[in-house]
Structure 1
Amino acid sequence: MTASLSRHDSTWTVDDPAELALRIRLRAVRMVAPQGFGYLGQALSAAEQVAAMFAAARPGRDRLVCSPGHYVIAPFAAATELGLLAEEVADTYGQNGSVAEAIGTERSPVLDYTCGSLGQGLSAATGFALSDRIRGTDRRTYALISDGELEEGQVWEAAIFAAHHRLGALTVLLDANNSQVDGPIDTITTIEPIADKWAAFGWHVSDVDGHDIAAVQAALVAAAADDRPSIVVCRTSTVHGLACLPPDADGHFIKLPPPLAEAAVAELTTALTAMLEARRA
């Protein structure tokens, strides 16, 4: 199945978001391994956010926007684990002609909207939320954005608009991993204090450890109870969950030669096995 998350025939169940986050990482490694490089770091940093979002979103109703196109690996991995995307499609990730493109486009499966150009996704998500209000539709829109995108003025224009119209059905998950293509964000542009800025714009704000799945889930529950647009600032790392990565691994675009890919698969498989055994004990 390659339809968007909000299609009426889309169904899935997330029994354990923590397990799904681990499976997202493992699946992402396997998706990147054939090329030997790719946007693995984005899946490592956003795994808990994507898992929590799929656990919170109502099948066939709520929408998913992935603003930074190179982050699509994480929703693709989650959708594959949940049966929304065929494994044979995920296996072609990043290959010529594949619908599972390394950088998402308007043709991308699973997502209701993604874009290659950074900074545009929040505008689309705001449009969805406003449209749903006008139509009287009971839908929530979840938008995944990155901290690097906060350097784009369009993000702040959309934030002002959403707050002005009090779009309470809009929830943003901000992956604050301090990483962009040119290096650490804080060496290039000062974007802190992130949480205070969004609060000043009139948003409901939660600032959490983005790798604490329970904290992310609790923030999503709080967001759904507020009548303002909400943002969950998730503090993360682009190498989280993989101790085998070298200290100088470029989190934006990780190189994964065969020996390292095998080590990554082995590490995550061991962690998954231990989680499942602990659950049965």
Structure 2
Amino acid sequence: MIESPPRPPASADPVPVAQLPGLATRIRLRAVRMVAMHGLGYLGQALSSAEGFAVLYGRYYRPGTDRLVVSPGHYIIAAFAAAAERGLLDDDDLRTYGHNGSRLEAIGTERSPAVDLTCGSLGQGLSAAVGFALADRIQGRSDARALAMISDGELEEGQLWEAAMFADHHRLGNLAVLLDANNSQVDGPVAEIATVEPIADKWRSFGWDARDVDGHDAAALDDAVAHAVATDRPAVVIARTSTRHGLACLPDGVDGHFIKLPPELAEAATAELEALDA
């Protein structure tokens, strides 16, 4: 029998909105250091979603009260980095990221700490978040929220839209989704594999509240998430992002889905982010 990961303790007070960009920079810096140990890895996902995880961990996710689902398992690197910034993981944990036997695996599993669930196969996380939201309602946990980070490539999965339809049918106003729309998946740009646009209109057609924002504008993102958790309908925030954001030193044409980070580039990336965080 697989045991669920222990629920993390409550973190500190919410981060002021003005400090969210700095938190996002530190999330990127931690992710660079985690990937640098291996010379390659899922850095692009951390670069695109850093502001999103800064907003979620910094201001809305209340461990022990809310449920946080990270649907794409390879995004777990950003969740680990954000959790460390909020005191839910320590530096010793992060130094084992991706190593054999570590509880911080490169792709999240049912044992991953600092989240309530992460999924391997894409497209399943929204179903899990819907289950959490409905269970909290049935159990009378009126203060609890189900929060989910999903990706735009997952919109090609039919299961996701079944979950969206179910959430609207049950009017799950305690469910909020942050969608990292970075136009990147393993086979290439999402728009070239199977276009998912217009994203917001599709969600609205399923009865959801939908807002489309610049995912690297932390203040705009925070405003949209604040609305999402306050509305009485299931809500999604579409965050338009880039898998290169925050690192000017990355070579042109780098594969944002799985980035090679040799020592020289890792040193340059670290120096660039440390200068921003100074």
TM range (shorter): over 0.9
SS in 1 for 2:11: coil
Instruction: Write the distance in 1 (CA, Å) between the matches of 2:218 and 2:61.
Output: 15
Residues 1-281 of structure 1 aligned to structure 2 (within 5 Å): 7=8, 9-13=9-13, 14-15=15-16, 16-54=19-57, 55-137=59-141, 138-273=143-278
For 1:95 and 1:85, the matched residues in 2 are separated by 16
The letter for the 2-side match of 1:126 is V
Unpaired runs of at least 5, structure 1: 274-281
CA contact (8 A) 1:179 1:252 kept: yes
Q: Report Cα offsets for 1:88-146 as digits up to 9, x if no partner.
A: 11111111111100000001001100111111000000000000000110201110000
| 8 A Cα contact 1:204 1:230, kept in partner | yes
Q: Deviations over 1:18-62 (max 9, x none)?
A: 211110000000000010000000000000001101112234311
Letter in 2 for 1:85: L
Cα offset for 1:10?
Answer: 2.5
The Cα RMSD (Å) is 1.3
Structure 2: how far apart are the matches of 1:131 and 1:219?
25
Distance in 1, Cα, partners of 2:85 & 2:238: 25
- The 8 Å contact of residues 11 and 60 in structure 1, kept in 2 or not, is answered as no
Deviations 1:61-96 (A, max 9, x none): 111100000000001001111211121111111111
Return structure 1 stretches of 4+ with deviation > 4 angstroms: none
TM-score (norm 1): 0.94
1:183 match: secondary structure: coil
**Alpha-carbon distance between aligned partners in 1 of 2:262 and 2:230, rounded to the nearest angstrom:** 46
Amino acid at match of 2:204: A
The answer to whether the 8 Å contact 2:5/2:112 transfers is no
Cα distance in structure 1, aligned partners of 2:153 and 2:11: 32
Instruction: State the TM-score, normalizing by the size of structure 2.
Output: 0.95
Q: How far is 1:11 from its partner?
A: 2.1
Q: Which amino acid aligns with 1:268?
A: L
CA distance, structure 1, for counterparts of residue 112 and residue 62 of structure 2: 20
How far is the alpha carbon of 1:248 from its aligned partner? 1.1
- Secondary structure of 2:250's aligned partner: coil
Instruction: Tell me the distance in 2 between the aligned counterparts of 1:120 and 1:155.
Output: 7
What fraction of aligned residue pairs are identical, expressed as a percent?
66
Deviation at 1:160, TM superposition (A): 0.3
Which stretches in structure 2 are left out of the alignment for 5+ residues?
A: none
